[in-house]
Amino acid sequence: MDYSIKIGGEAGQGLQSIGLILAKTFNRAGYHIFTVQDYESRIRGGHSAFYLRFSDKPVEASSTPITFLVCFDKPTLSLYQTDVSPSGYIIYNSDAIKEEVRLKPFDEVNGRELATARPRSATKRTKQLERTGRHSVPVPLDTLALQTGNDKIYANSIALGAVIGLVGCDFNILSATLAEFFGGKHKQGDVVEKNILSAKTGFELIRNKFPQCPFPLAVKPRNNRMVITGSEAIALGALAAGCKFYSGYPMTPSTGILNYMAHAADKMGVVVEQAEDEIAAINMALGASYAGVQAMTATSGGGFALMIEGLSLAAMTETPIVIALGQRPAPATGLPTRTEQADLEYALYAGHGEFPRAIFTPGNAQQCFYLTAHAFQIAEKYQIPVFVLTDQYLADSYQDFEPFDISRIDATRYIMTDGELSSVKEYKRHALTPSGISPRALPGQSQHLVITDSDEHTEDGHLTEDLQVRTQMVDKRLRKYEALSKEVIAPSLEANTKAKTILVSWGSNYGVVKEAAQALDYAALHFQQVWPFPKDDFLRLTQGAQRIIVIENNATGQLARLIKSQTGLTNISSINKYNGLPFTTDELTAKITK
């Protein structure tokens, strides 16, 4: 089985809460889940939607047609009803949508309206319903919410109960999830009871109205899988690696990391600072790192633009730092709450001067966790800035995973011990070494003076304009690439690994490309790290391929261009989407086979 739900309404109506509660409920009922959020850049008003897919097999992307559409307002019905499958259900708020709902035929090929005829009579409507096969389910959400909770806010729980009733899921699982969700947020009053009562009302209304619903779910309760977003996983990965200082300025879609770190700060012993801007944020993190704690900052495109001088400062002073860059459609403010993968080259080339860096591009929340922890290791070991690239699609999407394995995290610190320092007669913070990595001591750690400078400096950290030293220092910093390149993470090859057509992705397109490759019996190659570029691994994995197609959410094919420049290959084509929405599996499959 493989079903999907789309819930639509105005921003501020609590759609994210409904979606998250449903996701946790289905996960606890024994199903795998995947969600996508689509919202406008405003606090309240404007259209917003939450997509949830659940299946008895792992799911890693969104797809159409939709099995269940929940409409809190009329625009939702207009936007998505033609995406509902021929056997699907449309639950709509009959208090908000007064006029008769006239279903439009479903286009199985394009998911669009086939006919524009809109029968007005009940007889004609009945005939059309029979023809489309879909069911419209009017529920007076506002009226029922006032009756059960004395507040329209409980319309959300009425809808939750209706969905659970329609799919035939055990109400007790939803009840327990509601108790946990609202019990944690509201310590006082009868909020939990009213939400459960409201959900029960919606559940029983649907069960009485559709006693022969064809979607009875077999429930296999479990509690051992997490439901987590990419932003939450990045924050957890940082904490697992030993991050003790986080500074940032709120900017979608990176704000989720700041929120999670602030929530965990007291329990995990982390200093979390909301800086006055991104310039302060990166410089605070650099100061903390220079003083000896592992530090991180996160931002999005416009905020990263302000951080770039700090990025170069990290490079010159060889101060470790992890930067999470949440991509969103740009330039300028662009589409602040939508998704795009257009900052790969920005992260690769940002900063004045030439210096080493590493760029990780996780494809799901699990990779976010392990790669962020690894990013701290690489930053520490090589004393360089390291990027973790995410985007709104990955940052906000929930998916279920087995609990992360903390034993896989390497939390080694690459700082000289007191004993090592006591045996050193002279300490030089930027000592020239064959590897380019200088032994790192902390200010105040011993009697040795620890000095660095944003100007070019000597081995002991003092400012210099000696041109021979300048050349030595540039060479020293760039020598780090030799070792860094040897431990680069190779791309993964999945689906039909012997296929002659290879679909290539990076970052958040991992799941959708993998599902498309499985559907077409192609191979799927995914980059978790794009810099240093794993040239040898890529050439080995694509040897013998007749078609290499790079799928990206940007207009110009930034990864495709990087591959060509690094390998010299020319037989590479691209499929790009850059309207602010992620690919769906069926959409991508259709584009590949077109």
Q: Which residues contact 187 (CB under 8 A, 6 or more apart)?
A: none
* Structure confidence at residue 201 as a pLDDT band (50, 70, 90): very high
* Structure confidence at residue 587 as a pLDDT band (50, 70, 90): very high
Give yes or no for residue 119 having a pLDDT over 60.
no
* Cβ–Cβ < 8 Å for 400, 224: no
Give yes or no for residue 122 having a pLDDT over 80.
no
Summary mean pLDDT of the chain: 92
Give yes or no for residue 403 having a pLDDT over 80.
yes
From the centroid of its chain, how far is CA 439?
Answer: 36
Amino acid 5: pLDDT? 97
Q: Is the peptide bond before 403 cis (omega within 30 degrees of 0)?
A: no
Calpha distance 409→374 (Å, rounded): 7
From the centroid of its chain, how far is CA 512?
Answer: 13
Helix (H) or strand (E) run with residue 131 in it: helix 122-132
Q: In this structure, what is the dihedral angle of CA atoms 182, 188, 193, 194, given to the nearest 10 degrees?
A: -90
Kindly calculate the radius of gyration of the chain based on its CA atoms and give it in whole angstroms: 27
pLDDT over 70 for what percent of the chain?
93
Q: How far is CA 165 from CA 202, 372, 375, in A?
A: 8, 40, 45
Calpha distance 234→362 (Å, rounded): 10
Amino acid 108: pLDDT? 42
Mean pLDDT of the 371-395 span: 98
Q: Report CA torsion sign: 320, 326, 331, 332.
A: negative
Lowest mean pLDDT among 30-39, 96-105, 169-178: 96-105
* Structure confidence at residue 494 as a pLDDT band (50, 70, 90): very high
Amino acid 86: pLDDT? 86
Lowest mean pLDDT among 115-129, 182-196, 394-408: 115-129
Amino acid 187: pLDDT? 54
Written as one string, the DSSP assignment of 472-520 is HHHHHHHTHHHHHHHTPPPPEEEESTT-SEEEEEEGGGHHHHHHHHHHH
Of 261, 239, 237, 238, residue with least CA distance to 248 = 261
Mean pLDDT of the 312-327 span: 98
How open is the CA angle 225-230-232, to the nearest 5 degrees? Answer: 75
* Cβ–Cβ < 8 Å for 182, 192: yes
Amino acid 45: pLDDT? 75
Give yes or no for residue 222 having a pLDDT over 90.
no
Mind listing the pLDDT tens digit for each residue in 79-92? Answer: 998 899 988 999 99
Amino acid 126: pLDDT? 40
* Cβ–Cβ < 8 Å for 371, 410: no
Calpha distance 78→441 (Å, rounded): 63
Please tell me the pTM assigned to this model: 0.94
Helix, strand, or coil (residue 572): strand
Q: Report CA torsion sign: 586, 588, 591, 594.
A: negative
Mean pLDDT of the 374-398 span: 98
Give yes or no for residue 107 having a pLDDT over 50.
no
Give yes or no for residue 104 having a pLDDT over 70.
no
Lowest mean pLDDT among 98-102, 332-336, 403-407, 578-582: 98-102
Q: How far is CA 41 from CA 1, 298, 333, 335, in A?
A: 35, 20, 10, 8
Give the highest mean pLDDT range of 81-95, 102-116, 564-578.
564-578
Mind listing the pLDDT tens digit for each residue in 495-513? Answer: 999 999 999 999 999 999 9
Amino acid 219: pLDDT? 78
Calpha distance 413→394 (Å, rounded): 29
Calpha distance 123→121 (Å, rounded): 5
Mind listing the pLDDT tens digit for each residue in 450-479? Answer: 999 999 999 999 999 999 999 999 999 999
Give me the residue label for tokens 């986080």.
Answer: 246
Token readout for 279 is 């310039």
* Structure confidence at residue 218 as a pLDDT band (50, 70, 90): confident
* Structure confidence at residue 157 as a pLDDT band (50, 70, 90): very high
Mind listing the pLDDT tens digit for each residue in 264-281? Answer: 999 999 999 999 999 999
* Structure confidence at residue 217 as a pLDDT band (50, 70, 90): confident
Looking at per-residue confidence, does 135 or 61 come out higher?
Answer: 61
List helix spans (H) across 168-241: 171-185, 191-209, 230-241
- Around 240, how many Cα atoms within 13 Å sit in the side-chain half-sphere? 22
Amino acid 442: pLDDT? 98
Q: HEC states along 297-324?
A: EEEEHHHHHHHHHHHHHHHHHCCCEEEE
Of 25, 50, 21, residue with least CA distance to 35 = 50
Give yes or no for residue 235 having a pLDDT over 70.
yes
